[in-house]
Amino acid sequence: MLVEYYCSESLDRVNHPGMTEPLSYKYLFGPVPSRRLGRSLGVDLVPFKTCSTDCVFCQLGSVDHCTTTRREYVPLVDVLGELERWMAVDGRADYVTLSGSGEPTLHTGFGEVLRFVKRRSDMRSVLLTNSTLLHLPEVRRDAAEADIIKVSLSAWDQVSFEKVNRPHPELNFDRMVDGLRALRAEYCGTLWMETFIVPGLNAHPEEVRKMAAVAAGIQPDRIQLNTAVRPPAEEFVQAVPPEYLQKLAGFFTPPAEVIASFQPGEKAFTLLDETTLSRLIARHPATAEQLAHMTGHSEAAVQNLLAQLGEALSKSERNGEIYYKAAD
């Protein structure tokens, strides 16, 4: 009952904002527009670049803290306090998404965040996970609180897993797939799967057929193909042409959807200052044009703030466009 006790205490503190009132949103970002999810409010549960893998395609850059240790990386009570304040003050979103600076299931309180959203709002919840901790029954139990779980699978065996995802040494591909199958058997919600295609590592038709066979054993409701349209961790990672992705999509059951291109959606939020922009860029490297679409402000206003952020940013070119990301 330790969990019950802790959660009660958390909510009690949330209900007394004087104890925990955050000065600004440290753990929330957006809402950012999403083609599939409409307006999605992000919740970030781990410090920047804390993950159980170090994927070659990671848009955050190379992972600083590769770990499988689960703990309360950021104070749960502060995350719930920010959510409480956001719901009361800033309006609403269609979804609350656990994602951001690394792997959310590393945080031992991610299930409590999902339960809090369910109890306190009519927003639906999404968990984005790299699948690596789903062999743990307690992680599957908490993940099942989400309305949608989006898992990742971009390999077909341990060797390809190590090349594409560069997992923590303790992680094993077959055990991860067992966890994914167990999740499918236990979970009544919507299960999506994302497969990231990297030329030279997993893009050959035979390799994609092997991934499709593994995916078929997991039976996700929807499969999405992605490729490196944004600057990845490793320079050698190139994007696959959209026509090629479309061809690969037919290998999967159900046929995969191609989600690789940036699609600006509705304008998401109105507040725009240096802090908001830098936090957004830290989780979503983007061009000035994309940031203007995401925030609902003019490109000139975004460029002006980008100039003020100066050395806090780094730039990289991708397909002839300049992407802004957090400086290391």
Residue 142 interacts with ligand SF4 (CB under 6 A)? no
CB nearer to ligand SF4: pick between 108 and 152: 152
149 belongs to the binding site for ligand SF4 (CB under 6 A): no
Q: Closer to ligand SF4 by CB, 63 or 280: give it.
A: 63
Residue 133 interacts with ligand SF4 (CB under 6 A): yes or no: no
What track of x and - describes contact with ligand SF4 for positions 167 through 206 (by CB under 6 A)? Answer: ----------------------------------------
Query: 309-317 long-range contacts, Cβ below 8 Å, gap at least 24?
Result: 309/274, 309/277, 309/278, 312/278, 313/278, 313/281, 316/231, 316/285, 317/231
Q: Is 94 in the site for ligand SF4 (CB under 6 A)?
A: no
Give the interface segment with ligand SF4, choosing from 21-29, 48-56, 216-224, 314-322 (CB under 6 A): 48-56
Question: How many residues contact ligand SF4, by CB under 6 A?
Answer: 10
Residue 252 is encoded by which pair of tokens? Answer: 């999967």
Please say which residue, 51 or 214, places its beta carbon nearer to ligand SF4: 51
103 binds ligand SF4 (CB under 6 A): yes
Shortest CB 144 distance to ligand SF4, Å: 20
Whole-angstrom CA distances from 204 to 21, 210, 248, 302 are 52, 10, 9, 40
Q: Using the rule CB under 6 A, which residue among 43, 60, 117, 260 binds ligand SF4?
A: 60
H or E element in which residue 257 lies: strand 257-258
105 binds ligand SF4 (CB under 6 A): no
By CB under 6 A, residue 58 contacts ligand SF4: yes
Q: Which stretch binds ligand SF4 (CB under 6 A): 52-60, 168-176, 186-194, 269-277?
A: 52-60
Judged by CB under 6 A, which stretch of 51-59, 117-125, 292-300, 303-311 contacts ligand SF4? 51-59
Segment interacting with ligand SF4, rule: CB under 6 A, options 20-28, 53-61, 85-93, 247-255:
53-61
Residue 87 contacts residue 117 (beta carbons within 8 Å): no
> Tokens 């044009």 label which residue?
289
Q: Minimal distance in Å, beta carbon 75 to ligand SF4?
A: 21
Judged by CB, which is closer to ligand SF4: 197, or 272? 197
- For residue 196, the tally of other CB atoms under 10 A from its CB is 25
58-66, 176-184, 248-256, 314-322 -> range binding ligand SF4 (CB under 6 A): 58-66
Residues 203 and 197 sit within 8 Å (Cβ to Cβ)? yes
To which residue do tokens 């065996």 refer? 157
Instruction: Pick from 10, 20, 34, 53 the residue near ligand SF4 by CB under 6 A.
Output: 53
318 contact partners, CB below 8 Å, separation of at least 6: 228, 229, 230, 231
Q: Furthest-apart CA pair in the chain: how many Å?
A: 59
Does the protein bind ligand SF4 through residue 45 (CB under 6 A)?
no
Residues sharing a CB contact under 8 Å with residue 310, sequence separation 6 or more, in sequence order:
none
Q: Decide: is 54 part of the binding site for ligand SF4 (CB under 6 A).
A: yes
Which contacts qualify for 141-144: CB closer than 8 Å, 24 or more apart? 141/111, 142/105, 142/110, 142/111, 142/112, 142/114, 143/105, 143/110, 143/111, 143/183, 143/187, 144/183, 144/186, 144/187, 144/188, 144/189
Does 63 sit near ligand SF4 (CB under 6 A)?
yes
- Within 144-256, residue ranges assigned H as helices are 158-164, 173-186, 205-218, 242-249
Interface contacts to ligand SF4, rule CB under 6 A: 51, 53-55, 58, 60, 63, 102-103, 130
